[in-house]
Amino acid sequence: MEMQTVKFYQTGTFTVGNRLLDENERSVQANMERTNSLNSGHRACQGCGEALGARYAIDAAMRVTGDKLIAVNATGCLEVFSTPYPETSWQIPWIHSLFGNAAAVASGVAAAMRVTGRSDVRVVAQGGDGGTTDIGFGCLSGMFERNDDVLYICYDNEAYMNTGVQRSSATPPAARTATTMAVGKEPGNVFGTGKNVPLIAMAHHIPYVATASVANLRDLEFKVTRAMNVHGARYVHIHVPCPLGWGSAPADTIKVARMAVESGLFPLFEAEHGEVTGRTRIRHKVPVTEYLKLQKRFAHLFGKTPDQERLDQIQAIADKNIRTFGLIDTELAHG
């Protein structure tokens, strides 16, 4: 019989293989020795994707650096829910300065480590999409351009959540926020706006850029690990559903995140020195409606008569992503 390549994948769950793997290949969170850098007891909402993403990302970075890590945090939900005085959830050295300067503060920390002979200590900066793609964008681009030894992590929940769900430049088209109300001729956020910071990061030709999602935590850990094994400016952009801002059920956070990936709306890829070097293929392509339907911020697209025109436009965005990043394994799809 002719040799045939067979691809295996599990359905239903993607926690693929922790038990089947060699112990040192298991996820950071599966390890009893994980650092719990962001400890329990913080004030995030139930089902907060940002809290989940941050815990996985920082613990992974801690493992790579042998616990020699300093974190710089922009103002935003993550900062507020983790440090209500006199408590802190952070088990690592952590500093919050301002909303728009996390990347620059991190550059300063990294430089201080070099001049004081502590180059083994590494630095992570982290912020929400607002702190990254809007107000902190100047400092971020400066840090990239100087190729400072900083990993910047953006937790993208697609709006200014901490101040009550206002639009940011990462808010997707049609999404209802407090400043893009679901009223008028074009309800929700207008089409044709916003910016793609992972691509802009790539344009700086920095050593490593990746997108990740809390739908795929093993992949998230892997990417943070890769990023921390490289020196210079690095950027990881993590898609983190926000039940409060998106109007999704807290129990559905992972599902919502997965639908974003599987529909093609949030492509998972890696890039080195400005070139895409890897992408996560979509296993079961779902229509964007599967993703949108789970969230009240898109409720106005459905109602009695679905707004087919806008739904088609959103589907077109997903399809374009799939084409641009090669998200569907054509061989598999046709076979």
Partner 1 sequence: MLKQVEGSHAVAEAIALSRPQIICAYPITPQTHIVEGVGEMVKDGTLKNCEFINVESEFAALSVAIGASAAGARTYTATSSQGLLFMAEAVYNAAGLGLPIVMTIGNRAIGAPINIWNDHSDSMSMRDAGWIQLFAETNQEALDLHIQAFRLAEELSCPVMVCMDGFILTHAYDRVDVPSQEEVDAFLPPFEPRQILDPSAPVTIGAMVGPEAFTEVRYLAHHKQLRALTLIPQLSAEFEQRFGRASGGLIREYCTEGAETIVVSLGSINGTVQEVVDDMRADGAKIGSVSICSFRPFPLTALRDALQNAKRVVVLEKCLAVGLGGIVSDGVRKSLSGIQLKGYTVIAGLGGRAITRGSLRQLFEDAAADELEQVTFLDLNADVVAYELERESQARRTGPTAEAILKRLGTVSSKIG
Q: Which residues bind ligand SF4 (CB under 6 A)?
A: 44-45, 48, 50, 77, 81, 157, 161, 242-245
Looking at the Cβ atoms of 67 and 312, the one nearer to partner 1 is 67
Q: 15 in helix, strand or coil?
A: coil
Residue 272 lies near Mg ion (rule: CB under 5 A) = no
Cα–Cα distance for residue pair 262/287, rounded to 1 Å: 8
Q: Which does 106 bind (CB under 5 to 8 A by kind): ligand TPP, ligand SF4, partner 1, none?
A: partner 1
Q: 101 in helix, strand or coil?
A: coil
Q: Which stretch binds ligand TPP (CB under 6 A): 60-68, 70-78, 137-145, 268-276?
A: 70-78
We find the least distance from the C-beta atom of residue 62 to ligand TPP, in angstroms, to be 21
We find the least distance from the C-beta atom of residue 81 to partner 1, in angstroms, to be 9
- DSSP result, 159-180: SBTTTTSB--TTPPTT---SSS
We find the least distance from the C-beta atom of residue 258 to ligand SF4, in angstroms, to be 17
Instruction: Tell me which residues in 129-148 interact with Mg ion (CB under 5 A).
Output: 129
Asked if residues 175 and 232 have their Cβ atoms less than 8 Å apart, the reply is: no
Which of 312, 275, 321 is CA-nearest to residue 292? 312
Looking at the Cβ atoms of 160 and 208, the one nearer to ligand TPP is 160
267: preceding bond cis by omega (within 30 degrees): no
We find the least distance from the C-beta atom of residue 270 to partner 1, in angstroms, to be 26
Residue 130 lies near ligand TPP (rule: CB under 6 A) = yes
Which of 288, 270, 290, 272 is CA-nearest to residue 280? 270
Residue 88 lies near partner 1 (rule: CB under 8 A) = yes
Whole-angstrom CA distances from 78 to 25, 53, 84, 98 are 29, 10, 11, 13
Looking at the Cβ atoms of 77 and 314, the one nearer to partner 1 is 77
Q: Which stretch binds ligand TPP (CB under 6 A): 28-36, 128-136, 203-211, 248-256?
A: 128-136
Residue 219 lies near Mg ion (rule: CB under 5 A) = no
Which of 286, 293, 235 is CA-nearest to residue 265? 286
* Sign of the four-CA dihedral 229, 233, 239, 240: positive
* 94, 160, 266, 325: which one binds ligand TPP (CB under 6 A): 160
H or E element, residue 123: strand 122-128
Residue 27 lies near partner 1 (rule: CB under 8 A) = no
Which of 289, 295, 282 is CA-nearest to residue 322? 282
Which residues of this chain interact with partner 1, rule CB under 8 A?
Answer: 67-70, 72-73, 79-80, 83-86, 88, 90-98, 100-101, 104-116, 121, 138-139, 141-142, 145-146
